[in-house]
Amino acid sequence: MHAGLDAALEDALRPLRESSGPLGVLFSGGVDSSLLAWELRRRPDVILCTMGRDGSPDLRAGRSGAERLGLPWESIVIDRVRVRIAEERFRGELDHLPTVSRNVLLSLAIAIEGASPPRLVCGQGVDELFLGYAHFRDLEEGVAARRVVEDLARLRERDWPRTERVAERVGKTVIAPYLSLPFEVAANRVPIGLRLPREEPKRFFREWALGRGLPIELSRRPKKALQYGSGVDALVRGRRAKDR
């Protein structure tokens, strides 16, 4: 199972390793983006890009993770005004989304626009493939397997195309290696029982990342969703409360 994932990830990353020019990793310091940073650490012109409000968990984790990996790092510091401007700019993609999906896309949009490299790599797909979301807790295997299919379909058909359009609008390209078809196939060959979170979200993925050499402190960082770890959700709620 690990060999299949290894081969699929190598296949997805090969074009990035062989290309030239600046390349950014949207880096929260969590295991998904940390593994990408680890795998691309020897490529020239890689920079880790972390978005968050001043003092947010993601900015702290991004800085410490970049130091641990020995890679250059840039921070994209946000406030209520910057969030409001992004909400207006990307309203066409944000409209009609459920609140959680909307704030995830808003967070990605701010990070994509604010990062300096024109090409950006992100860790989308791991939570769907390796059952990282809270709604997978306590599910039995059959129900969890059906939910994986639903979550992946939503990501591929709705959320990821919106992310790509956001990037195109600001003159960037965004790449999700974990959403490559070979990687999805390899992940789905891992029995659902091994991917269930049990006592730790994305337990199987974390163990696999550790086996690929990712430092243990990066492989074990507790999961914090992008919109919460960056502070975007709190800024949105605070602004709306103020507007009432």
pLDDT tens per residue, range 35-53: 999 999 999 999 999 999 9
Among 153, 149, 122, smallest CA distance to 36 is for 122
Read off the amino acid at residue 82: R
pTM: 0.94
**Cα Rg of the chain, angstroms:** 17
- Residue 137 is encoded by which pair of tokens? 């807790």
20 vs 224: CA distance, rounded Å: 32
Q: Which residues on neighbouring strands pair with residue 77, listed in sequence order?
A: 52
User: Which domains, ranges and CATH numbers included, belong to the chain?
Assistant: 2-237 (3.40.50.620)
Residue 8 sits at the vertex; the CA angle it makes with 6 and 9, to the nearest 5 degrees, is 65
Q: How confident is the model at residue 32 (pLDDT cuts 50, 70, 90)?
A: very high
In sequence order, what E strands does 3-114 have? 23-26, 46-53, 73-78
- Residue 80 is encoded by which pair of tokens? 């209520």
Residue 30 sits at the vertex; the CA angle it makes with 95 and 102, to the nearest 5 degrees, is 5
Question: What pLDDT, on a 0 to 100 scale, did the predictor assign at position 83?
Answer: 93
Cβ count near 99 (within 10 Å): 11
pLDDT tens per residue, range 91-113: 999 999 999 999 999 999 999 99
